[in-house]
Amino acid sequence: MQSRNKIMDDISQLMTNAMGVAQGAKDEADTAMKGLMDRWLAGHDFVTREEFDAVRAMAQKAREENEALKLRLEALEAKG
């Protein structure tokens, strides 16, 4: 009976070690993939979210100003 428990303990320890190795490999793969993606993105001309939001706000303001000028022009043409 004692030898059976020893075998089960050994198998349990082996499985625990295997899970630790698998987790380490996953962490290493994640780190490598993140580094690869960072290098790939740095090599392209992408804008940041902040830059995109700033340009979008500028475009919205320009549309609003354009609409106001259009209404003003229509009012001046109606007078003249």
Q: Are residues 14 and 35 in the same domain?
A: yes
Question: Is the entire prediction scored with pTM above 0.95?
Answer: no
Domain containing residue 63: 47-80
Please indicate, yes or no, whether residues 51 and 64 belong to a single structural domain of this protein: yes
Backbone angles phi, psi at 63, to 5 degrees: -65, -40
Same domain? 18 vs 6: yes
pLDDT at residue number 60 = 98
- The H or E element that residue 39 is part of is helix 2-42
In the chain, the number of structural domains is: 2
pLDDT tens figures, 21-78: 999 999 999 999 999 998 998 888 888 899 999 999 999 999 999 999 999 999 999 9
Do 73 and 54 lie in a common domain? yes
Say whether both 53 and 38 belong to one domain.
Answer: no
If asked whether residues 56 and 40 sit together in one domain, one would say: no
Structure tokens at 60: 């919205």
Cα–Cα distance for residue pair 64/71, rounded to 1 Å: 11
